[in-house]
């Protein structure tokens, strides 16, 4: 689920190239990119996006079923929520960084400055919680 979420988010957010830049590109102006978007073509991108969304929903359904049945410690939901937030940030950031424009992409810098530390904090938080859950499962004193 964590691996499919950035792809699903990127698919759902869509291209962030603004209308002005698209109009200039239609007139033959070459757009600037922080990173060039990766594409499988319109049909391939659509299929990949739909498959990623379906995988996220399927995985979420399995996790919910296991949680309701008591086979998944509810503490893992906090870890998963943090990892999923990072995955959404990655998918959204990808669309911002790969947006075409004329000149500098200010959004690219803002994404790195703001979302980078947030993602790092979430990653550290999820690792700490996962460590506690593993130690609790194996009977290690977590103090």
Express each pLDDT in 46-96 by its tens digit: 999 999 999 999 999 999 999 999 888 888 999 999 999 999 999 999 999
Mean pLDDT of 12-20: 87
Q: CA torsion angle for 84, 89, 92, 97 (degrees, to 10)?
A: -140
Mean pLDDT, the chain, rounded, equals 89
Tens digit of pLDDT for each residue in 92-112?
A: 999 998 888 887 778 888 998
Q: Is residue 30 assigned to a domain?
A: yes
The answer to whether position 76 is within a domain reads: yes
One DSSP character per residue, 114-126 reads: IIHHHHHHHHHHH
Domain annotation covers residue 143: no
Q: How many domains, in total, are found in the chain?
A: 1
Instruction: Give residue 143's pLDDT.
Output: 54
Position 92 in a domain: yes
**In a domain? residue 37:** yes
Range of the domain at 93: 4-137
Tokens of 3: 């691996």
CA dist 18 and 12 (Å) reads 16
Q: Report residue 18's pLDDT band, with 50, 70 and 90 as the boundaries.
A: confident
Identify the three-state secondary structure at position 75.
Answer: coil
What percent of the chain has pLDDT above 70? 97
**Residue 14 has which token pair?**
């869509």
Q: Does 48 fall in a domain?
A: yes
Nearest to 108 by CA among 117, 118, 98: 98
Encode pLDDT of 83-94 as tens digits.
Answer: 999 999 999 999
What 3-state class would DSSP assign to 72? coil
- Determine, yes or no, domain membership for 142: no
| Mean of pLDDT values over 20-38 | 83
Residue 76 CB contacts under 8 Å (≥ 6 apart), including other chains: 130, 133
Position 84 in a domain: yes
């Amino acid at each position: 689920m964590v691996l499919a979420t950035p792809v699903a988010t990127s698919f759902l957010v869509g291209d962030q190239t603004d209308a002005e830049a698209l109009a200039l590109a239609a007139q033959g102006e070459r757009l600037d990119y922080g990173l060039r978007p990766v594409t499988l073509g319109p049909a391939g991108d659509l299929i990949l996006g739909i498959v990623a969304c379906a995988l996220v929903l399927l995985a979420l359904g399995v996790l919910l079923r296991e949680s309701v049945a008591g086979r998944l410690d509810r503490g893992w939901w906090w870890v998963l929520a943090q990892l999923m937030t990072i995955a959404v940030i990655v998918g959204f950031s990808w669309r911002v960084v790969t947006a075409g424009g004329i000149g500098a992409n200010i959004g690219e810098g803002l994404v790195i400055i703001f979302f980078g530390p947030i993602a790092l904090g979430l990653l550290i938080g999820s690792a700490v919680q996962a460590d506690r859950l593993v130690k609790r499962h194996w009977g290690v004193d977590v103090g």
